[in-house]
Structure 1
Amino acid sequence: MVLDIQNNGGVRTITFNRPKVFNSFNQAMAMALQAEIDACATDDSVRCVVLTGAGKAFCAGQDLAEATDPNGPELKSIVAKHYNPIIEKIRNLEKPVVAAVNGVAAGAGANIALACDIVFAKESASFIQAFSKIGLIPDSGGTFFLPRLIGAQKAMALMMTGDKVSAAEAEKLNMIYKVLGEETFEEEVAAFAGKLALMPTRGLGLTKKAINQSFTNDLTQQLAVEEVLQTEAGQTHDFKEGTSAFLEKRKPEFTGK
Structure 2
Amino acid sequence: MSDGTSTPGGIGILRDGAVLRLTLARPDRLNALGTTGFADLADAVDEADADDGIRVVVLTGKGRAFCAGADLGTVVDAHTVEAAARAVLAVRRTGKPVLAAVNGAAAGAGCSLALACDLVIARRSAYFLLAFAGVGLMPDAGATAFVPAAIGRARAMRMALLGERIPAPTAAEWGLIGEVVDDADFDEAVAAMTARLASGPPLAYARIKRAVNEAALPELTRALENEREGQAALLRSGDFAEGVAAFRDRRDPKFTGR
Q: TM-score range by the shorter chain?
A: 0.7 to 0.9
Does structure 2 retain, via aligned residues, the 8 Å contact 1:11–1:46? yes
Q: What does residue 54 of structure 1 align with?
A: 62
TM-score w.r.t. the length of structure 2 is 0.79
Residue equivalent to 1:247: none
Determine which structure has more spread, i.e. the larger CA radius of gyration: 1
Could you tell me the TM-score, scaled by structure 1's length?
A: 0.79
Structure 1 partner of 2:78: 76
Equivalence for 2:158: 157
Partner SS for 2:95: coil
Question: C-alpha root-mean-square deviation of aligned residues, in Å?
Answer: 1.2
Shift of 1:215: 3.5
Can you list the C-alpha shifts for 1:128-186, whole angstroms capped at 9, x where unaligned? 10001011100010000100100000000111000001011101111000101111211
| Comparing 182-191 and 3-12, the one that deviates more | 3-12
The one-letter code matched in structure 1 to 2:142 is G
- Which ranges of structure 1 fall in alignment gaps of 5 or more residues? 69-74, 218-257
After superposition, the C-alpha distances for 1:202-251 in whole angstroms (9 at most, x for unaligned) are 1101110111221367xxxxxxxxxxxxxxxxxxxxxxxxxxxxxxxxxx
Structure 2: where are the runs of 5+ without partners? 1-5, 219-258
Give the aligned partner of residue 250 of structure 1.
none
Distance change >3 Å, CA 131–CA 145, structure 1 → 2: same
- Cα distance in 2 for partners of 1:111, 1:61 equals 9
Equivalent residue for 1:23, pick from 18, 21, 31: 31
1:44-87 deviation line (CA, Å, top 9, x unaligned):
1110111000000000000012136xxxxxx222112x111111
Report the Cα offset of residue 101 of structure 1.
0.4
Indicate if the aligned counterparts of 1:95 and 1:202 stay in contact, CA closer than 8 A.
Answer: no
Matches of 1:4 and 1:216 in 2, distance apart? 29
Q: Tell me, what secondary structure is at the counterpart of 2:74? A: helix
Q: Which of structure 1's runs of 4+ aligned residues deviate more than 6 A?
A: none
Letter in 1 for 2:38: A
Farther off after superposition, 132-141 or 2-11? 2-11
- Return the match for 2:48 from 33, 37, 40: 40
Range that drifts further, 6-15 or 189-198: 6-15
| Residue 74 of structure 2: aligned partner | 66
Which piece of structure 1 moves more, 134-143 or 186-195? Answer: 186-195
Q: Indicate whether 1:5 and 2:13 are aligned.
A: yes
Structure 2 residue identity aligned to 1:88: L
Counterpart position of 2:97: 96
